[in-house]
């Protein structure tokens, strides 16, 4: 454990004299600065406050107008995006309908050809049976 003798200590020395002179010098400097920076009269202060309030109001109004402009721009961009997407979807639906109609027409055409081929095959088979029966009778 450490001994109290090993702990460092600090000595503060005070000088006497000059305290009143320093105080008076500080008071004079303070009084001079107070005269230089003395507040305005009540009327001047009110006018200054009114002017600052006008400036603040003007700045706030400008910020509100700017925010409204930005909001309108964003809304317009959103509207354009929605309109563009709507057009894309509408075109896709149209293309899908056209493709479905074309596919239906192709299927109907193929079905009609298949039916014609079936009828032709049935007719040829009947003719063959009839021709075979006629030859068998002769």
Q: What is the mean pLDDT of each run of 10 residues along the chain (138 residues)?
A: 60 58 74 66 78 88 93 94 94 95 95 92 85 69
Q: What is the CA radius of gyration of the chain?
A: 53
Per-residue model confidence (pLDDT) at position 105: 95
For residues 52, 58, 59 and 63, what is the CA-based torsion angle, rounded to 10 degrees?
A: 160
Write down the pTM of the prediction. Answer: 0.41
| Burial track 40-53 (b if 16+ CB lie within 10 A, e otherwise) | eeeeeeeeeeeeee
Per-residue model confidence (pLDDT) at position 4: 58
Per domain, the residue ranges of the chain are: 44-110
Under 8 Å between Cβ of 48 and 40: yes
């Amino acid at each position: 454990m450490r001994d109290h003798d090993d702990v460092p200590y600090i000595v503060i020395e005070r000088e006497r004299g000059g305290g009143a002179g320093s105080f008076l010098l500080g008071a004079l400097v303070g009084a001079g600065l107070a005269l230089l920076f003395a507040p305005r009269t009540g009327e001047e202060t009110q006018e200054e406050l009114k002017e600052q309030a006008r400036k603040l109001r003007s700045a706030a109004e400008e910020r509100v107008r700017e925010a409204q402009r930005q909001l309108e721009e964003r809304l317009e961009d959103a509207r354009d995006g929605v309109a563009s997407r709507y057009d894309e979807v509408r075109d896709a639906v149209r293309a899908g309908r056209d493709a479905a109609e074309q596919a239906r027409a192709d299927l109907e055409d193929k079905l009609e050809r298949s039916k014609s081929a079936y009828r032709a095959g049935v007719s040829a088979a009947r003719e063959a049976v009839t021709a075979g029966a006629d030859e068998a009778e002769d």
